[in-house]
Amino acid sequence: MTKRKLSLSSRIFIYMIMLVVVASILIAGVTIYQYNEQSQDYHRLRLERKEAQLISSINYVLKETTWEVKTENLPLIFKDKIYEIANIHNVNFNLYDLEGNLIKMSKPNFEKNTIETRLPMDILAQLKQSVSKRYVEKIKRFGEDYRSSYMIFTDINAKPLGVLNVPYFDDDSLNYGELKEFLTRLSYAYVIMILLAIAFAYFVSKYITKSLQAIQEKMKETRLEKRNQKIELKGASSEISALVESYNNMIDELEDSVKKLASSQREQAWREMAKQVAHEIKNPLTPMRLSVQSFQHKFDPQDPYIHKKVNEYTKTLIQQIDTMSSIASAFSDFAKMPAQKLEVLNVVEVVELALDIFPESDLKFISKEPEIIANFDRSQLIRIITNLVKNAVQSIPKDRSPQISIHLFFDDTDVIIEVNDNGSGITEDIKDRIFEPKFTTKTSGMGLGLPMIKNMIDTYNGSISFSSIIDEGSQFTVRFPKYFKDEV
């Protein structure tokens, strides 16, 4: 089963909506990423400010102390000062010696098992390797992001004294609250934007494909046998204009090809017609020539039967001349269709007139209506009836009594004529060729009768059809409008 593809307008619509949705997701992702980055920068800078404030206070204490400034005296120097500094800056911190041993905590009641009494060796190694003599450790503690900074502080002579440790919890509750509120507002904006995008995508897709639909409709209407209209679009894009121009050029080339083909077909038809005329005329000329030559050789004025021979010779020539005349008339009727002379006529009356030339015993004319009015050419209608009845008569075998009926009736729009016979019927192998010029099953005749009347009927926008049963008979049905379209 072939999978049905989406139309161009549907694909444009879907792609535009997908573009908006993807853009919305990307914007939301970038927003969250930016908030996280800002939060990280905020905590980093805040920790650095706290460190700077604490170092400033520590340096001040070291400057004002009466104790000798060295690592062993740090517990004495900051015995009480550590609490004052912690209260001033509202920051808890710890002091370690250069070997990583805990010296002093700013929170005396802080449970010792939560503070490292000795710094891990990797932290000390990081401090010694760092150019800035500073190291920040990031870990998870109590389900929260926790960072702890370690910095080596010095005396006024830049001699290392100890390690300052500042524990810091990343409290992002405020940032996350702001982020949640921002995303909520942004989601409302996205919903409105998507609704607008749907409406916009719908109209844009219709606008884009409108020109293509016009081209599609024109291409569907393109036919070889008729004059095709060119496409005229205003305000189309350059790509659509190029497509329209290509289609119009194709129409011009198609018309030229049709004209050349029609001209070629007409020439071929006239060649065939000329061959047929020559062939048909040669047939009676040959016996005429032989008759003249025979009469010339055998003519004897003293022959007592000379008058009888002259009469026979004359009769032969007249028959052949009549044959040639009928050939010329048949071709003239087919090639030179007389101009239509439409008139309002009673079809019943005209059909009865056409049937007068046939023996009444062979025909049965049936019409329930005494009068059927239609627009038609009287002489052409007579020729149609005459030809159909003549063909019906000729189709009946000599050993069979003719039974030919002509039914005439009408419906809302058409006049219908049915000619039935009890002849030999039409075989399957020739049904498709009945209306071809020059085709005939008779030993005489041109095969132009049915093609000629078909041309007449087609001119009136009518139709002719037939049905047949072998050895039982045939029925020809003619339909034509009551009123010819050009005369309404």
Reported as a single tens digit per residue, the pLDDT across 179-222 is: 778 778 878 887 888 888 788 877 777 776 676 667 667 666 66
**In which element (H, E) is residue 194 found?**
helix 173-221
| Nearest by Cα to 102 from 56, 163, 52, 147 | 163
245 touches 291 (CB < 8 A): no
Give the separation between CA 132 and CA 163, rounded to whole angstroms: 13
| pLDDT means over runs of 10, the chain (488 residues) | 62 79 83 81 86 90 87 88 88 89 77 67 86 84 76 88 87 70 80 82 72 69 63 63 73 72 65 63 63 69 72 70 64 55 86 79 85 86 86 86 90 91 84 65 50 81 88 90 62
CA distance 436 to 439: 6
pLDDT of residue 36: 81
Per the CB < 8 A criterion, the answer to whether 457 and 477 are in contact is no
CATH numbers and ranges of domains, the chain:
8-176 (3.30.450.20), 238-334 (1.10.287), 339-487 (3.30.565.10)
Torsion angle of C-alpha atoms 256, 261, 267, 270, degrees rounded to 10 = -130
How many whole angstroms separate alpha carbon 116 and alpha carbon 96? 10
